[in-house]
Amino acid sequence: MGFLARKIDKQLASYQHELIETHYQEVDNMYQQMRGWRHDYRNHIQTMKAYAASEDWNSLKHYLDLLDEDLTTVDPIIKTGNPMTDAILNSKISLAKSKGIQVIADAHIPMKLKSSEIDLCCILGNLFDNAIEASIQLPEEQRIIRVYMDMKNTQLYISFTNFTAGRKLQKEGTRFRSTKGEGHGFGLVRIDTIVERLDGYISRNSEDGAFTTEILLPQM
DSSP assignment string, 66-116: HHHHHHTTTS-S---S-HHHHHHHHHHHHHHHHTT-EEEEEE---S--SS-
Q: Which pTM value belongs to this model? A: 0.64
Share of residues in the chain with pLDDT > 90 (%) = 23
Q: What is the pLDDT of residue 80?
A: 81
pLDDT tens digits, 128-184: 988 998 899 899 999 999 999 998 888 999 999 998 866 555 554 545 555 554 444
Among the residue ranges 29-33, 114-118, 131-135, the one predicted with the least confidence is: 29-33
Share of residues in the chain with pLDDT > 70 (%) = 68
Looking at mean pLDDT, say which of 3-7, 170-174, 185-189, 203-207 comes out highest: 203-207
The DSSP code for 179 is S
